[in-house]
Amino acid sequence: MRKRLIQIFGFLISSMGWLFILCTMAMDYWRITQIGGQGGSFIIKVAWYWSNLWKDCFTDSTAVTNCRDYPVLWSVSYYVQAVRGLLMCGLTIGFFAVVCCFIGMDCTYIGGAEQTKDKLVFSGAVFHFVGGVSNIAAYCLYINRIAKVAFAPSVPGVLKYDLGPPIFLGLVGCFLIFFGAVLYAVTVFRVVYPKRSGAQTIGGGTYMVPLSRGKSMYAGYNPSRMYEYYSSGRTTSQLSRLSETIPTKISERDAFV
């Protein structure tokens, strides 16, 4: 029951993380900057320049927005292309991760035997992790580009942008994906580290390997001193002398016979 609840919780958390990643690709204000006092007029007090993965836009103080869509693929900035590619690769891997985990979850009746379902869940957890790494690499690349321009010396005509809400939402989504992958892996860690049995098959028979020297498979059982004496490597003469020194008790019934 606990395994089932953990897997359901991991499925909800990881799915929410992928939903956050998907939303950031369509959101505006990936980067934004504010410019005040432009145009030499008191009416135009402030203007905003902002961008996302698909267009650059300008919004004036009257809330009128003018946008310019990015042209064909090969004329877009290299880092924007890289961010797009990493996010799309991560989402593709995440799709297969969600499918594998859904089929392999303990609460579903598809996927085959329990061991097969555990392997599917473990594969889905690995896919979640790989997809999350791809996504967080995309956001870090975008952050690095913005920070590099922001902390560089001022150059006329070059705008210094700030990070927008989609970046932070995407980082939260990556954290949720990693957390969900960990929850999945915890429930099926026996796939990687199976239980080791102490039994060995020798000559067609099965024998239990003792856990340590001087211990038997029966807890609390200590061999008698006589057994230790016989099990030691003594000679036949010593054993015969031992039998002479040990008194033999004969019951009354045997004596009568």
Tokens of 236: 């036949």
Q: What is the pLDDT of residues 201-225, one digit of tens each?
A: 555 555 555 544 444 444 444 554 4
Extents of the domains making up the chain: 2-191, 199-243
Assign a CATH topology to domain 2-191.
Butyryl-CoA Dehydrogenase, subunit A; domain 3 (1.20.140)
- pLDDT above 70: percentage of residues in the chain: 70
Query: Which residues does 51 contact at the CB level (< 8 Å), separation at least 6?
Result: 30, 31, 32, 57, 161
**Is the Cβ–Cβ distance between 105 and 117 less than 8 Å?**
yes
Q: Give CB contacts under 8 A, 24+ apart, made by 133-136.
A: 133/90, 134/86, 134/87, 134/89, 134/90, 134/93, 135/21, 135/86, 135/87, 135/90, 135/91, 135/170, 135/173, 135/174, 135/177, 136/171, 136/174
Q: What is the pLDDT of residues 46-89, one digit of tens each?
A: 788 999 999 999 988 778 889 989 887 777 888 999 999 999 99
Q: In the predicted model, what is the mean pLDDT of residues 127-146? A: 96
Please give the model's pTM, rounded to 2 decimal places.
0.71
The pLDDT, as a whole number, for residue 120 is: 92
**Is the Cβ–Cβ distance between 58 and 49 less than 8 Å?**
yes
The residue among 74 and 165 whose pLDDT is bigger is 165
Q: What is the pLDDT of residues 2-22, one digit of tens each?
A: 888 999 999 999 999 999 999
The residue among 166 and 107 whose pLDDT is bigger is 166
The pLDDT, as a whole number, for residue 239 is: 46
The mean of the pLDDT values for the chain is 79
Tokens of 191: 């796939």
The pLDDT, as a whole number, for residue 60 is: 82
The pLDDT, as a whole number, for residue 247 is: 53
| pLDDT surpassing 90 at residue 31 | yes
Question: Which 8-state DSSP code applies to residue 143?
Answer: H
Best CA proximity match to 87, nearest among 124, 128, 133, 138: 138
**Is the Cβ–Cβ distance between 104 and 117 less than 8 Å?**
yes
